[in-house]
Amino acid sequence: MAQLAVNGGNKACEHAWPTWPIWGDEERKGLNDVLESGQWWYGEKVRKFERAFADFQDAKFGVTVCNGTVAIEAALTTLGIGAGDEVIVPPYTFVATASAVMRVGAAPVFADILPENLCIDPADIEAKITEKTKAIMPVHLGGHIADMDALNDIAAKHGIPVVEDACHSWGSQWKGKGTGALGACGVFSFQASKNITSAEGGIVLTDDEDLADRCRSYTNCGRAEGRPWYEHHRLGSNLRLTEFQAAILLAQLTRLETQTLKRQANAAVLDETLSGAPGITVLTNDVRMTRRSYHFYTFRIRPGELGVGREKFIEALAAEGVPASPGYSIPLYKNPVFYHLDEEPAARSFADSVDYAKVCCPVCEAVCSDAVWLPQAFLLADEQAVRDAAAAIVKVCENIGELR
């Protein structure tokens, strides 16, 4: 009889995995309080959440916005980055990391990632810096913090800021300090899939009061603190969060610490079990990262050793009851948007000088074909369920011959 469920064997996991989002009476009460107050717009709850989340991440200032993408745009604009500039970014990330750079008129320059944690490679950043480079934007992928010591050293050497794309790292800590203010500033997303969510929303964190004030002005139509409402001091935009979103986020924040620790503990179970599995490479956590949020859990398969590709491997996991996905299947620079820059008004300043078809980041290209993701809600399951899922992954590896 076949061992693997995909071939008719017994299914290894019969668990009903946690779904996302998780909510309760806290969200219900917060929303109802806002509804009945009649104060729906950019008020007390927004200010309260900004302070609470900044405190949670060990930052001095927080400026909320309507989503994580515009949080990046706001941060870059506030730093004076625009047409003719370059920002170094990783290619293994959501498109907004690079598209937000383009939206402010600057050119994203792709530096490769490290194979052990999938975060941007400091050595490749050094190789990509030019006189046009105006910022480095690491992504703390899946909650794993990029090497902020090395990145801040590079930034100081070249006189450029580090802008953290921290959209996967609510609760992650580097040497005991939360992400978001480890560089000049950092941005977070509260989109529907994120570990703390209000369906959409975002925030810019920083320890720099002047930067926070300028960012606030930009996101609030160019207004200045203490000046008349219809007096506009900067070319700004309207990126404000609503009281309804803030009410949900305040409720979500009450669970984030406990959920973060549970995800971290379950990830350790996976690390322990999968480390000895044939054909699997477990990623490495930097010891300077004192807490990790785990927006997803990632491991890599070795297709040459297993004799099958990722698609068949994930199909077999699904049959065993393990909710896995391939994650990012192509590097950002292989997306069609980067091949017709002449059609994008925001890219006019660099469309003639950049050819993304010539970009190659070898580590990223390998990871795009061999990484496997387990979702963040999965990591909120009971420990025994996670152990069963880990055993199911090992089962597939040990019976991989059935898939060839």
pLDDT of amino acid 216? 98
Asked whether the CA dihedral 32, 35, 37, 41 is positive or negative, the reply is: positive
101 three-class SS: helix
pLDDT band at residue 252, thresholds of 50, 70 and 90?
Answer: very high
Strand partners, 86: 107, 133
pLDDT value for 115: 98
N- to C-terminal Cα distance for the chain?
A: 17
- 152 vs 293: CA distance, rounded Å: 22
Task: Give the per-residue pLDDT at 190.
Answer: 98
User: Listing from the earlier edge strand, what are the strands of the sheet with 280-282?
Assistant: 280-282, 296-301, 371-375
Token representation of residue 3? 């061992």
User: What top-level class would CATH report for the domain 25-252?
Assistant: alpha beta
Rounded to whole angstroms, the Cα distance separating 73 from 192 reads 20
pLDDT grade for 17, boundaries at 50, 70 and 90: very high
Q: Structure tokens of 85?
A: 């500039």
21 preceded by a cis bond (ω within 30 of 0)? yes
pLDDT, tens digit (0-9, with 9 covering 90-100), for 38-96: 999 999 999 999 999 999 999 999 999 999 999 999 999 999 999 999 999 999 999 99
The answer to whether the pTM exceeds 0.95 is yes
Query: Using CA atoms in the order 284, 328, 192, 251, what is the torsion angle rounded to 10 degrees?
Result: 10
pLDDT (tens digit per residue) in 347-374: 999 999 999 999 999 999 999 999 999 9
The Cβ of residue 35 has, within 10 Å, a number of other Cβ atoms equal to: 13
CB-based burial, 107-119: b 16+ in 10 Å, e otherwise: bbbbbbbbbebbb
As a whole number of Å, the CA-based R_g of the chain is: 22
pLDDT of residue 62: 98
The domain ranges of the chain are 25-252
260-296 burial by CB neighbour count: b if 16+ within 10 A, else e?
Answer: bebbbebbebbbebbeebebbbbbebbeebebbbbbb
Q: Supply the residues annotated as catalytic.
A: 94, 165, 168, 191, 194, 223, 230, 240
